[in-house]
Structure 1
């Protein structure tokens, strides 16, 4: 049986205190014009109270191109300062890089002061890189009055320009950026573009499979000026989804991988992961685990999940209820539940960077639990027939375990930040979808749209706000926990937290295919502390 991938789902659906102040650097010019050595910009990520990762890539010779395996080993200097002029340097060093790591440079700078703005740069042969700006997290015990984060997902090079990144880089009120996956796409040129139209072609043109391929694709994305500007302006907190490897990836394979023609999946996975760790400003655990936590004083904790590396293969029908199947893996689920419990008395808000939707989305079926034994005989899953088994809908035992843990332990103020499906949603996450709202909501979920990747109107080839209106109405009928869904727009989200409430603002681009696209606020929802109930904000 062919499973619905993300595009299939969309086709069926078609039926304050931590803000970085303005410090004299223009948003789109926070970094200087790249020198011949620093063509891929600079970046920072995973801020801790006394540490942050800084990153760049050098091109020391004309032959030292990404993925080439050519070029000399060089020593790259790095500096971190309290001022943009680098008169107050607080940390410096040298990093040796070469073709073995694709001439990337990644330094985990330690010994910094908490809650502090820093500037950083790199130097090769006396030539400086663009200047980046970053920030360390506040102390774990700090009483933080406010926090704002940009939230993005699914940026497909061929489908448009990254105007969403430009608009976020123009803001002065963000601490950093949460990227929920699909930072790159693996497809061959033309396989997944803007409704079939290639806005700007991929390099390499073929589907990427090898280490050289993945390095080249990462390098292509990091030539985008708006991506470079956003990386240079704020620290990023990133987790992967599937397209960093291949579509609908699971632990042992992917929908978009054919072992007969493309070789062992393990070799492709290893190549993609190696390139990812080289090119991304992420802190990796021993053994290559990427799930991790970041703390923002006593206001919030951000948990970033890996929902691809340990999951069982996607299935349909009653198989989605099999308790032996997992989306997190046993070790990550244990770590997640333990962390949520430990945070209960420590922080006000729990943010979970969750690459695929956890809220159930069912169409046209009565759940098996309401049918009794007849439902099991008919092969109806416990939560009803799901549109997209690539989401948590395909792993209901894990979802039940996690949401039950939140409910039993009275762990409130939990917000899932989600990407993957290229559309906007505001959900109250039900303990038991079949009886909601009599069954309580135990969390909320905010799903951000794609930066550029196709959604309902793009795939159907129809004008926005036509076919999608019927789909949104149908979803509302059978999914009462879905408070709002908008299936057409491309853009980004901004989540703001105070001790009293959390607020998500969704922003839509005027035209993803134009670099100069404008942005408008599409919708806003707030969640009061102590309740998972969403309230739509009309203005302000």
Structure 2
């Protein structure tokens, strides 16, 4: 199945660089559905906004979902397919429309629409909108990637993760829009799946913990109704991958954190994956049950290639677990010491097929900069075991420290393949971190790369040990009390990574400031810390 065969998603809000403008609604509009006759549709079809993503040199994915009652499991839509017109223009007023077509919003996919808008010019900004039942969506702004192999002056990319709705407001996204990025990279935990919290929540999830498709649809709608998040989607194309909370906390393959029944969990994973697909502008095939391939590359002319990976779906079980724990369906042990299987080279974080794919991409990439877009901290990091604070060393079983051989395989591949200027971007840990990456076979030699973990949009990590252990863990920068995002600016000679920290993530109008900056130099890997 090609993307052109897929039903396109509906659109919701109009984007302007100055403001978000709602589309005009046509109450009581009728829509013809083939032999079904005229079916009335309610107003407010585009409540969840619009989005674009995964640009290439001549196309971009456009998304929307029709949902006049967004907090209903079916979005308040009748069980019929709806034609949705889409338009791409060179100007915000749509005086110069360059591409248009009609897609179908199908009830099976929650009336979501994914349009591959083809035939666009490389390296250009465009505007887009959707129209259904006489109602126009907001206008989104997007852009195509530069031509394949083209010389590119620069790339500005904002990267972020971990936006728990209850933990704060989305002031960070207002500042991302002001950065005017070419691309937004989201590295996981777009939603959080937990039950509504009644403690220290600045706002609450609108439905119980989701277990089925309707529940996950409502949870995504809760997040996508936020106007600041919508404005960030309307401002620029996104590239996304997932982490755990899009399904369930700390899941590994077919096992949830409680090591429950795998069959029941895979039913839940299938529902979560479909809801993820229904709500994101992805250049991927739709899920087939509990399987959905989202690892892929994104090229930016000759300047950069993003290798976007999935470290959840294919990973092996957590290491160093007590015997019988899985069989007894008891929660996994999240903090582990050393054990026989921790460094087993057969244990995988990405799965064998994805590892082979990544090996090939790292060897064949023609780009000057190679950005590994993955979910978490890669450097081996000691943590404190609350049950044995004086013991050690201990590690997190859930990040790359629990899969060290799989991580070192990537590092060795960078060296063996001569991958040009590799960088790793991550999220997950609710903290900012930066570190040199070294060849596992030559740990005392110069760095081969650097990694940058870009904080969190809202999610908390009140952990004094993170900063206290920063030097022990080889982190050149560590900050777990400030929330925000990272900004990557690169050109042919070098660039920078800047960490942007909010003054107060509990305020929608929070200010922001640079809290750390690192310069990059082509051909000279590693961290170069600047003063902010």
Same fold (TM over 0.5): yes
CA spacing shift, 1:79–1:257, aligned 2, 3 Å = farther
The Cα of 1:407 is off from its aligned counterpart by 1.7
Partner of 1:309: 313
1:485-524 equivalent positions in 2, closer than 5 A: 485-524=478-517
Farther off after superposition, 313-322 or 491-500: 313-322
Are 1:448 and 2:454 matched, yes or no? yes
What secondary structure is seen at the aligned counterpart in 2 of 1:536? strand
Matches of 1:28 and 1:487, distance apart in 2: 32
Are 1:338 and 2:340 matched, yes or no? no
Partner of 2:408: 400
Partner of 1:350: 370
Partner of 1:264: 264
Are 1:190 and 2:189 matched, yes or no? no
- Deviation track 1:15-38 (CA, whole Å, cap 9, x = no partner) reads xxxxxxxxxx75351543674221
Partner of 1:276: 276
Match of 1:139 among 121, 130, 147: 147
Are 1:153 and 2:161 matched, yes or no? yes
Partner of 1:178: 185
Partner of 1:299: 303
RMSD: 2.3
Structure 1 gap ranges (5+): 1-24, 366-383, 458-467
CA spacing shift, 1:63–1:405, aligned 2, 3 Å = closer
CA spacing shift, 1:364–1:274, aligned 2, 3 Å = closer
- Runs (4+) off by over 3 Å: 25-28, 30-35, 62-70, 256-260
Partner of 1:479: 473
Matches of 2:54 and 2:115, distance apart in 1: 12
TM-score for the superposition, normalised by structure 2: 0.84
Are 1:210 and 2:230 matched, yes or no? no
Matches of 2:192 and 2:420, distance apart in 1: 35
More helix by share: 1
The Cα of 1:353 is off from its aligned counterpart by 0.5
What secondary structure is seen at the aligned counterpart in 1 of 2:229? helix
Matches of 1:501 and 1:106, distance apart in 2: 35
The Cα of 1:47 is off from its aligned counterpart by 0.3
Matches of 1:474 and 1:295, distance apart in 2: 37
TM-score for the superposition, normalised by structure 1: 0.83
Matches of 2:417 and 2:283, distance apart in 1: 30
The Cα of 1:423 is off from its aligned counterpart by 0.4
What secondary structure is seen at the aligned counterpart in 1 of 2:524? coil
8 Å Cα contact 1:524/1:536 also seen in 2: yes
Partner of 1:7: none
CA spacing shift, 1:85–1:63, aligned 2, 3 Å = closer
- Deviation track 1:375-417 (CA, whole Å, cap 9, x = no partner) reads xxxxxxxxx9442121111112212221111122332410101
8 Å Cα contact 2:376/2:400 also seen in 1: yes
Are 1:51 and 2:46 matched, yes or no? no
Return the structure number with greater relative CO, CA threshold 8 A, min gap 6: 1
1:2-151 equivalent positions in 2, closer than 5 A: 26-27=16-17, 29-32=19-22, 35=25, 36-59=44-67, 65-67=72-74, 70-71=77-78, 72-151=80-159
8 Å Cα contact 1:160/1:513 also seen in 2: yes
Partner of 1:430: 438
Match of 1:359 among 379, 389, 411: 379
8 Å Cα contact 2:90/2:127 also seen in 1: yes
The Cα of 1:327 is off from its aligned counterpart by 0.2
CA spacing shift, 1:245–1:27, aligned 2, 3 Å = same
CA spacing shift, 1:67–1:386, aligned 2, 3 Å = farther
What secondary structure is seen at the aligned counterpart in 2 of 1:250? coil
The Cα of 1:471 is off from its aligned counterpart by 4.2
Structure 2 gap ranges (5+): 1-14, 26-43, 321-337, 386-391
Partner of 2:522: 529
8 Å Cα contact 1:30/1:233 also seen in 2: no
Are 1:410 and 2:413 matched, yes or no? no
**How many corresponding residue pairs?**
472
What secondary structure is seen at the aligned counterpart in 2 of 1:339? helix
CA spacing shift, 1:475–1:160, aligned 2, 3 Å = same
8 Å Cα contact 1:355/1:418 also seen in 2: yes
Matches of 2:203 and 2:281, distance apart in 1: 25
Match of 2:233 among 231, 234, 253: 231
Partner of 2:3: none
